[in-house]
Amino acid sequence: MGNSGSASPARLGKDHVPHLEWKIHVFSALLETGAKSAKSSYFQCSGYKWLLQVTPSMKKKAGVETPYVGLCLKLCWTCLDPGHTVNAVFELSVYNHSKKMYCGYKASHNFAMDNTLSKEECLIPLQKLLKSSAFLVDDSCVFGVKILKTRVTSPQKKDVVVKEKATTVQNLFVQKKEFIKGTYTWTMDNYLELGSKNFVRSPTFEVGGHKWYLGICPRGDRHIIDCISLSLLPVDSKELSAMLGKVVKLTLSIMNQKRGKHFTITTGLVIHGSGWGWPWFLSLRKFKEPSGGYLVGSSCFVKVDFTIVGSSNDG
């Protein structure tokens, strides 16, 4: 399944109706941000929460300079129980305005807690998309995903044929300027005393007129052990409501106190939900390794850098 080697996506037919229709406005601004990816908001289908990820400029393989636009499907890991696998058959697509139908590829993936993102499928060479009025109209491009079937492996296997449902419509607006940027470093001098705690929050800090805090699970999330979980969260529900629909580029880092080579993960562009973060941020073994420089004595430093680059809405 899938056909990432083709120069153009195949027609999916006029009967193809996606479960998610995601329109990215000002696609050129998405490229200018330099973001490695952009993620939609979650949508519900087949009893699970999914999102569509677009890689605006990816290389099909090493040594090949031609950039492609890539799509992949992500399953929300909190929908899964440890040991469960969801095999999904789905179609990833881009709308062809000239032919008035979606074009794309059929693919499948086994989603699990440690494998929530499908393989990227190259839909179209980036330059072809930018120069073609079929795919890009008024600097906007429409992407889609349709889930055809899921099978859950628990120890029992259960096939679920997905029923037709109304399309979830989302819009992403990317700014070209006037970004709101913020940074904060959390100094912890008592990390070794946090071992018995499930969740610890940093002091409150303010960026862009909103109040935030960093959260750390010293021993991992409730589903995950032997890893540090790290997240950025708004202080209260009012802050959460004010930030809903904001598009953010986020970087979280644990600072290296010896060599300056920090451990860093960047989201790409994500749409605000209840917060951002990684349950498997860094293994405890690597974090506590004396030569690593992340934990010195009982001291560690966590840093967040984020930029609000746009907004999103549904409908």
CA distances from 268 to 54, 112, 166 (A): 10, 22, 28
Identify whether residues 30 and 88 lie together within a single domain: yes
Residue 22 or residue 266, greater confidence: 22
Residue 262 maps to a domain: yes
Pairwise CA distance, residues 50 & 73, whole Å = 7
Q: Give the residue carrying structure tokens 């799509």.
A: 71
Residue 274 — pLDDT band, cuts 50, 70, 90? low
- Among 84, 104, 88, smallest CA distance to 96 is for 104
| pLDDT, mean of residues 273-302 | 85
Using only C-alpha atoms, what is the Rg of the chain? 21
103: its two tokens: 């074009």
One domain for residues 154 and 251: no
Regarding whether 45 and 170 lie in a shared domain, the answer is yes
What would the mean pLDDT of 295-315 be, rounded to a whole number?
Answer: 84
Q: What is the pTM of this model?
A: 0.79
Q: Which of 158, 174, 190 is the last residue of a domain?
A: 174
d(CA 28, CA 25): 9
Domain count, the chain: 2
Domain co-membership, 52 together with 149: yes
The last residue of a domain, from among 174, 192, 216: 174
**Of 132, 147, 174, the domain-final residue:** 174
Q: Is position 2 within any domain?
A: no
What is the Cα 181 distance to its own chain's centre? 20
Domain holding 251, by residue range, is 180-314
Which pLDDT score, from 0 to 100, does residue 159 have? 62
Query: Helices (H) and strands (E) in the chain — how many of each?
Result: 4, 21
In a domain, 1, yes or no: no
For residue 19, is it within any domain? Answer: yes
Are residues 294 and 157 both part of a single domain? no
pLDDT given for residue 63 in this prediction? 59
Could you give the CA distance from residue 148 to residue 17 in angstroms, rounded to a whole number? Answer: 11
CB 40 within 8 A of CB 169: no
CATH number at residue 59: 2.60.210.10
Q: How many other C-beta atoms can be found within 10 angstroms of the C-beta atom of residue 97?
A: 15
41 and 139, same domain (yes or no):
yes
Question: Does residue 187 sit in the same domain as residue 120?
Answer: no
Q: Which two tokens stand for residue 69?
A: 């636009």
Query: Do the domain assignments include residue 125?
Result: yes
pLDDT over threshold 90, residue 104:
yes
Mean pLDDT of the chain: 83
pLDDT category of residue 175 using cuts at 50, 70 and 90: confident
DSSP string across 244-262: TTEEEEEEEEE--TTTS--
Q: Are 167 and 271 part of one and the same domain?
A: no
167 and 54 within one domain: yes
